[in-house]
Amino acid sequence: MSRPGAPGPDPLPGIEGARRRSAALEARLRELEPPRRARSPLLAAVALAAVAWFAWDLWPDVRWFLSSRTPIDLGDARAPRPADARPNRLARVAGPLVGSVGGTAGGREARRVSGVLGTNVVVDRPAGAPPAVAFEGRLLPPSRAAGYEPFVAQLRRQGWSPGDGYVVLREGERPGDAWGRAGLALVLAGLAALNLRTLLRRRAA
């Protein structure tokens, strides 16, 4: 039994020994871990090419998502403005409709497709939409407008005359409303950055 006031045992050797044992254990655990496999540059290049292809396919939707919410005025039968029609922009056109063809053009819901009198604008509307004389929505890119050719052929037989070509306005769509494909584009951008980083690291090694 130590006398009152006498110094106790030095705690440092015990603490130092515990630290050493802990460091040795950590080193042993690191040795037991399986080695990390480096990502294959070839696989990263193939993945980057696939991401670029999908991003190119999504670009029209991204451009539409980021476009202005102020509509382009395409005029009416008295003063049409076909030169102002630009794909993936919000547009407005006025005039009576000519013909009506039902179907699911451009989506899964039931739609009605008609031509606007005196213009080259095809209007794709929800089947239950009320009668109107002005229409506002997205001008589809040519790659998607081409899918309306069977509907346009029927509208021509019903008396609509668009001239040499036509544009398709899909009523009801507005920029910034649908995040689905824009969000997918963000995911693809992240994957592209990851694979590009792998390629750059391999090149620098």
pLDDT of residue 1 exceeding 50, the answer is no
pLDDT classification of 157: cutoffs 50, 70, 90: very high
| Structure confidence by residue, pLDDT tens digits, 13-72 | 556 666 676 677 667 666 665 555 555 667 767 777 777 777 777 788 888 888 899 999
- Secondary structure (DSSP) of 19-60: HHHHHHHHHHHHHHSPPPPPPPHHHHHHHHHHHHHHHHHHHH
pLDDT of residue 4 exceeding 70, the answer is no
Residue 6: the pLDDT is 53
pLDDT of residue 141 exceeding 70, the answer is yes
* Of 145 and 14, the one with more pLDDT: 145
HEC string of 56-118 equals HHHHHHHHHHHCCCCCEECCCCCCCCHHHCCCCCEEEEECCEEEEEEECCCCCCCEEEEEECC
Report how far apart, in Å, the C-alpha atoms of 107 and of each of 125, 162, 200 are.
Answer: 11, 23, 41
Task: Report how far Cα 39 is from the mean position of its chain's Cα atoms.
Answer: 27
Q: For residue 50, how many other CB atoms are within 10 A of its CB?
A: 14
Lowest mean pLDDT across 83-87, 130-134, 149-153, 182-186: 182-186
Cα Rg, the chain, nearest whole Å: 33
Average pLDDT over all residues of the chain: 79
Arithmetic mean of pLDDT, 129-150? 92
Q: Yes or no: say if 99 and 114 are a contact pair by the CB < 8 Å rule.
A: yes
Arithmetic mean of pLDDT, 87-116? 86
pLDDT of residue 192 exceeding 80, the answer is no
pTM value is 0.65
3-state secondary structure (DSSP) of residue 141 = coil
Residue 102: the pLDDT is 87
Tokens of 162: 């668009």
Q: Yes or no: say if 159 and 99 are a contact pair by the CB < 8 Å rule.
A: yes
Q: How much of the chain, in percent, has pLDDT values that exceed 70?
A: 73
- Please state, in angstroms and rounded to a whole number, the distance separating the CA atoms of residues 148 and 142: 10
3 Cβ partners below 8 Å, 6+ apart? none
Residue 134: the pLDDT is 94
- Please state, in angstroms and rounded to a whole number, the distance separating the CA atoms of residues 170 and 137: 5
